[in-house]
Structure 1
Amino acid sequence: MSVNEPISIEVRELTKQLIQQYIMNQYPWGLITRPLTPISQAVLLITYIITIAMLILSLLQIIVLTKYGIKSLGYLREMKSAVDQRNKVLTSRLPFVTILIPIKGESTLTIERSLQNIARLSYPKDLLEVIYISDDPEYYVNSIINILNNLSHRLGINVKVIHRTDNSGYKGGALNYGLRYAKGDVIAIFDVDTITPSNYLLSAVNKLMMGYDAVTAVWRGYYTVDNAFSRLMKFMYDVYNEVFIRGRFLSNGFPAISGNNIVIWRKVLNAVNGFCRCTGEDLDLSIKLRAMGYRVGLIDEYVACEVPSTYPSLKRQFSRWLFNGIWNMKHNLRLLLTSGKVTTWEKIDGILWMLQFPSISFAALSMLITLVLSIIGVLIPPAPILFLELLNAIIVLSLFVVLLILGKHVGYSIPNSVIQMTRGALLTIVMSFPMLVYSLESLVTDEWEWKSTPKGPINPRSTSLRDLVHELSLIPIIIIITIVILILNNQIITIPYIISIIAILAYGLRFVIAYAR
Structure 2
Amino acid sequence: MHYIMSASEYLEIKELVRQVIQQYVMNQYPWGVITRPLTPVSMSILFVTYIMTIAMLALSLIQIAVLVRYSMIGLRYTKNPRRRSNTVGNGAGFRKLPLVSILIPIKNEDAVTIKRSLQNIAGLNYPRNLIEVIYISDDPEHYVNSLIEYVEPMVRRLGLNVRILRREDNTGYKGGALNFGLEYAVGDVIAVFDVDTILPSDYLMKAVEALFGGYDAVTAVWKGYYTVSNSIARLMKFMYDVYNETFIRGRFLGGGFPAISSNNLVIWRRVLSSVNGFCRCTGEDLDLSIKLRAMGYRVGLLDSVVYCEVPYTYPSLKRQFSRWLFNGIWNMKHNLRLLLSSKGTTVWEKVDGLLWMLQFPSISFAALSILITVVLSIIGVLIPPMPILFLEITNILIAFPLIIALLSISKYVGYNAWDSISNAVKSALIMVFLSFPMLIYSVESLLTDDWEWVPTPKGTSFQHAIHRNALLQDLIHEILAISILVMVMIVLVINKQLLTTIYIASIVAIMMYGLRLIVPQNH
Q: The TM-score by the shorter chain falls in which range? A: over 0.9
State how 1:159-308 maps to structure 2 within 5 Å: 159-308=162-311
Aligned equivalent of 1:36? 38
Q: 1 CA distance for matches of 2:192 and 2:208?
A: 13
Give 2:506's aligned residue.
Answer: 500
Given that 2:94 and 2:212 are in contact with CA atoms closer than 8 Å, whether structure 1 keeps it comes out as no
Shift of 1:333: 0.4
1:16 and 2:23 are equivalent in the alignment: no
Shift of 1:80: 3.6
- Any conservation in 1 of the 2:93–2:213 contact (CA below 8 Å)? no
Q: Is the 8 A contact 1:98 1:184 kept in 2?
A: yes
Deviation of residue 230 (structure 1)? Answer: 0.6
Give the residue type in structure 1 aligned to 2:279: C
The match for 1:116 is: 119
TM-score with structure 2 length normalisation?
Answer: 0.96
In structure 2, the residue corresponding to 1:262 is in which secondary structure?
Answer: strand
Gaps of 5+ in 1: none
Q: In the comparison of the two structures, how many residue pairs are matched?
A: 514
Residues 312 and 410 (structure 1), Cα distance of their counterparts in 2 relative to 1, 3 Å cut: same
In the other structure, the counterpart of 1:131 is 134
C-alpha contact (below 8 Å) 1:89/1:203 kept by paired residues: no
Q: Aligned pair 1:363/2:366, yes or no?
A: yes
1:467 equivalent to 2:439? Answer: no
| 2:479 maps to amino acid | L
Question: Could you tell me how far 1:21 is from its partner in structure 2?
Answer: 0.6
* Amino acid across the alignment from 2:46: L
Name the aligned partner's letter for residue 485 of structure 2.
I
Matches of 2:260 and 2:472 in 1, distance apart? 35
Shift of 1:485: 3.8
Quick one: structure 1 residues 164 and 329, their matched pair in 2 at CA, closer, same or farther if it must change by over 3 Å? Answer: same
Conserved? CA contact 1:191–1:259, under 8 Å? yes
Which whole-Å CA distance do the structure 1 matches of 2:244 and 2:319 have between them? Answer: 19
Question: For residues 87 and 407 of structure 1, what CA distance do their matches in structure 2 show?
Answer: 25
DSSP-derived class of the 1:130 partner: strand
The structure-2 alpha-carbon separation of the partners of 1:316 and 1:82, relative to structure 1 and needing over 3 Å to count, comes to same
What is the RMSD computed on CA atoms of the aligned residues?
A: 1.6
> For the structure 1 residues 288 and 198, does the alpha-carbon distance in structure 2 shift closer, same or farther, using more than 3 Å as the test?
same
Task: Give ranges in structure 2 of 5+ residues lacking alignment.
Answer: none
In 2, the alpha carbon distance for the partners of 1:81 and 1:365 equals 41
Q: TM-score, normalised by structure 1?
A: 0.97
Aligned to 1:6: 8
CA distance in 1, matches of 2:290, 2:88: 31
Counterpart in the other structure of 2:349: 346
Matches within 5 A, 1:324-473: 324-459=327-462, 460-461=464-465, 462-463=468-469, 464-473=471-480
Output the amino acid matched with 1:511.
Answer: L
Q: Percent identity?
A: 63
Separation (CA, whole Å) in 2 of partners of 1:127 and 1:511: 46
Match of 2:80 in 1: 78
In the alignment, the residues of structure 1 paired with residue 295 and residue 499 of structure 2 have an alpha-carbon distance, to the nearest angstrom, of 57
Write the distance in 1 (CA, Å) between the matches of 2:216 and 2:5: 82
Summarize deviations over 1:454-493 as a string: whole Å, max 9, x none: 0003422222221000111222201222333455x54333
Find the aligned partners of 1:375 and 1:418 in 2 and give their Cα distance: 36
Q: CA deviation at 1:77?
A: 2.2
Look up the match of 2:69: 67
